């Protein structure tokens, strides 16, 4: 008997019913409104008439340190750490740039990509309607639907919305994003606005230093930060110690093109995905040469694609680490992409055999989220006109040049503190090395500089972020346990949690527990 059941067994009927009602209230609280809450940002108590002010649609470009957040996307239930969206939404509401009571939908909120817990972003983009000093007067409340429809019309087909709609993205959590050509409206000229509100400095004065607004741009009413994005660019940083970089580069090159990535992602049954083909434009591994000492042997995996599946980048990186450790051949990439028996892949090279067909995903561990960053979200230049603050700043005496210097100095201070911490850690390591020796270097397997693994000895292969998976025996990926197919996962969710999603699911679960515990009382 589990600890939970043991605890419930001592409860009276009245206590169990009260518990059930409490859970109902909790879920009603977080599911009834699509409105983020971040308690560390104060809220205004006095009323503010948003309908009396002009508004316009803008895009915000910002960066954030993912280790401080439970992902990018706002969650309807409490999370251990705040979410990036929840924190940004609260800052916008505190600045009275959006109506907090209208929630995300009320301001037409759209993001370029969703990032998981621990994953960072350098140039994330969101688009939304905000209060303006020069925009048009806000539409009457009963016309709000028209404004929202204008911001999302002609952007996606019903099929795309079903497959890549709400849920978690890709590695960023699930980035099931599809591209659509911009409309004529979205390609219109976007002038600079010298008398507009100070969106960048206002928000940066409210937000924590782990989130920084870099720039804003006026956009057309039908612009979508998600669907008008031409491609997403991810970077994954790692040290090359114990890795065969040439083998990893070979494996990465096999990713380019349109492939079925069902075996390189995490299934999210809430999205009911049946299509797993994604297009990779570029996949390279190279040394990091800027802003870091060459002695660190730091490398970066650059991955550019139009759209990504849930945790796709971290799964790919885990496979590259296995290839770099010489635990898997580069052809493991082709094998896992060969998921359709009706369209089998040919050999990648003439001297290689045809890859085996892998119908379902082997159970392997994905890479650590810390080194992963959403580096860039690319758009047509005609759609955006990134700017910082108005040139005319006599009101407060802070020019655009002065403000840019202030933001740069803030970011440089963060960088300097990190550099100091790295220097301290380097000296601590140097002192430790005088009294302790490092572990034998087993990786990459079979390399001249590596030592053989002794019988029964344990070793660890990298998962990124200075984390390792240790064991005494390595099981090849294609010999690992196979997980359920997408069809099985989707069906299981439809007849289980999907049918009783949310409040109903909690009620049914507690009702079953209550029934099981009360039956002995009636016998």
3-state SS record for 123-141: EEEEEEEEECCCCEECCCH
Angle in degrees, 0-180, between the axes of helices 245-253 and 312-324, rounded to the nearest 10: 140
CA dihedral 148, 154, 157, 161 (to 10 degrees): -30
- Tokens coding 31: 């599911």
Active site residue 116: yes
Q: How many CB atoms lie within 10 A of CB 199?
A: 23
Catalytic residue among 15, 24, 99, 116: 116
Where is 64: in which H helix or E strand?
strand 54-64
- What is the chain's length? 523
- Tokens coding 480: 């690992």
SS3 assignment, position 384: coil
Cα separation, 97 vs 57, in Å, equals 11
Cα separation, 95 vs 48, in Å, equals 11
Cα separation, 153 vs 110, in Å, equals 13
Q: How many CA atoms lie within 13 A of 444 on its CB side?
A: 20
Residues in Cβ contact with 327 at an 8 Å cutoff, skipping those fewer than 6 apart: 445, 461, 474, 476
The answer to whether 126 and 88 have CB atoms below 8 angstroms apart is: yes
CA dihedral 263, 268, 274, 277 (to 10 degrees): -50
Cα separation, 202 vs 107, in Å, equals 18
Beta bridge partners of 482: 362
Q: Which residues are catalytic?
A: 116
């Amino acid at each position: 008997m589990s600890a939970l059941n043991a605890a419930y067994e001592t409860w009276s009927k009245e206590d169990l019913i009260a518990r059930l009602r409490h859970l109902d209230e909790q879920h009603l609280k977080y599911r009834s409104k699509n409105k983020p809450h971040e308690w560390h940002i104060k809220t205004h108590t006095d009323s503010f008439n948003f309908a009396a002010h002009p508004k316009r649609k803008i895009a915000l470009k910002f960066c954030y340190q993912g280790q401080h957040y439970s992902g990018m996307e706002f969650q309807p239930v409490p999370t251990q750490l705040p979410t990036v969206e929840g924190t940004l939404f609260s800052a916008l509401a505190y600045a009275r740039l959006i109506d907090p009571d209208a929630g995300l939908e009320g301001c037409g909120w759209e993001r370029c990509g969703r990032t998981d817990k621990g994953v960072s972003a350098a140039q994330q983009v969101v688009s939304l309607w905000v209060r303006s000093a020069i925009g048009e007067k806000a539409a009457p409340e009963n016309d709000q639907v028209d404004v929202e429809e204008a911001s999302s019309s002609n952007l996606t087909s019903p099929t795309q919305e079903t497959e890549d709609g709400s849920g978690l993205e890709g590695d960023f959590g699930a980035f099931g994003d599809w591209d659509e050509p911009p409309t004529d409206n979205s390609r219109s000229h976007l002038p600079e606005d010298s008398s507009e509100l100070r969106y960048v400095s206002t928000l940066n004065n409210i937000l924590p230093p782990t989130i920084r607004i870099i720039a804003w741009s006026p956009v057309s009413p039908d612009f979508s930060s998600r669907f008008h994005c031409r491609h997403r660019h991810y970077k994954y940083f790692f040290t090359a110690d114990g890795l065969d970089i040439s083998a990893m580069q070979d494996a990465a090159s096999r990713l380019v093109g349109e492939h079925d990535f069902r075996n390189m992602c995490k299934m999210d049954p809430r999205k009911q995905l049946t299509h797993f083909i994604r297009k990779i434009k570029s996949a390279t591994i190279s040394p990091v040469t800027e802003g870091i000492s060459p002695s660190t042997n730091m490398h970066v995996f650059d991955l550019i694609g139009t759209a990504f599946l849930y945790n796709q980048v971290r799964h790919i990186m885990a496979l590259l680490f296995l290839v770099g450790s010489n635990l898997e051949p580069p052809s493991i990439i082709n094998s896992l992409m060969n998921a359709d028996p009706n369209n089998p892949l040919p050999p990648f090279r003439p001297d290689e055999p045809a890859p085996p067909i892998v119908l379902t995903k082997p159970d392997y561990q994905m890479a650590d989220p810390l080194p992963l960053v959403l580096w860039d979200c690319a758009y047509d230049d005609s759609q955006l006109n990134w700017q910082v603050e108005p040139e005319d700043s006599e009101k407060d005496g802070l020019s655009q040049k002065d403000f840019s210097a202030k933001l740069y100095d803030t970011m440089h201070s963060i960088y300097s503190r990190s550099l100091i911490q790295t220097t301290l850690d380097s000296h601590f390591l140097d002192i430790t090395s005088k009294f302790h020796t490092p572990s034998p270097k087993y990786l990459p397997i079979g390399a001249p500089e590596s030592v053989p693994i002794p019988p029964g000895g344990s070793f660890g292969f990298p998962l990124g972020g200075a984390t390792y998976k240790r064991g005494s025996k390595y099981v090849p990926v294609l010999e690992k346990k196979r997980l359920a197919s997408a069809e099985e996962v989707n069906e299981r969710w439809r007849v289980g949690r999907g049918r009783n999603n949310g409040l109903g699911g909690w009620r049914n679960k507690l009702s079953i527990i209550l029934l099981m515990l009360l039956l002995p009382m009636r016998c």
